[in-house]
């Protein structure tokens, strides 16, 4: 379930885009343009179950090396470009 308030500071959550950064082994993968609810006060991002699922699938592809990196920058890709 999506919270309507930040569970850390009780700030208001607004719909927006964020960058999801995750460490995979010795590499850091940054996924850009991830839809999320972001706290206006502290910037904490909350992901919908659908987005979490897309990120999970992306991580799986990354682990099995079937993912083609976007050429714009090493280790950076857009979630919207990799999910059909
Ligand atoms: Zn907050």
| Ligand 1 center to 63 CA (angstroms) | 31
Pairing label, strands 27-39, 76-78: parallel
Whether domain 13-77 has CATH 3.30.200.20: the reply is no
Q: Report if pTM > 0.85.
A: no
Contact by Cβ (8 Å): 8, 44: yes
pLDDT tens by residue, 56-72: 888 888 777 665 554 44
pLDDT greater at residue 31 or residue 27: 31
Buried b or exposed e, range 47-71, using 16+ CB within 10 angstroms = beeebeebbeebbeebeeeeeeeee
Distance (angstroms) between ligand 1 centre and the Cα of 45 equals: 9
How far away, in angstroms, is 59 Cα from ligand 1 center?
A: 26
Residue 67 Cα to ligand 1 midpoint, Å, equals 33
Task: Compute, in angstroms, the gap from residue 11 CA to the centroid of ligand 1.
Answer: 5
Q: Which residue's structure tokens are 């592809």?
A: 61
**Beta-strand runs (E) in 1-84:** 13-24, 27-39, 45-46, 76-78
């Amino acid at each position: 379930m999506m919270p309507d308030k930040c569970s850390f500071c009780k700030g208001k959550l607004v719909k927006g885009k964020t960058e999801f950064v995750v460490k995979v082994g010795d590499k850091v993968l940054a996924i850009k343009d991830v839809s999320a609810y972001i706290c206006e006060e502290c910037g904490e991002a909350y992901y919908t179950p659908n987005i979490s699922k897309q990120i999970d699938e992306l991580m799986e592809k990354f682990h099995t090396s079937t993912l083609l990196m976007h050429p714009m920058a090493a280790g950076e890709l857009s979630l919207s470009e990799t999910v059909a």
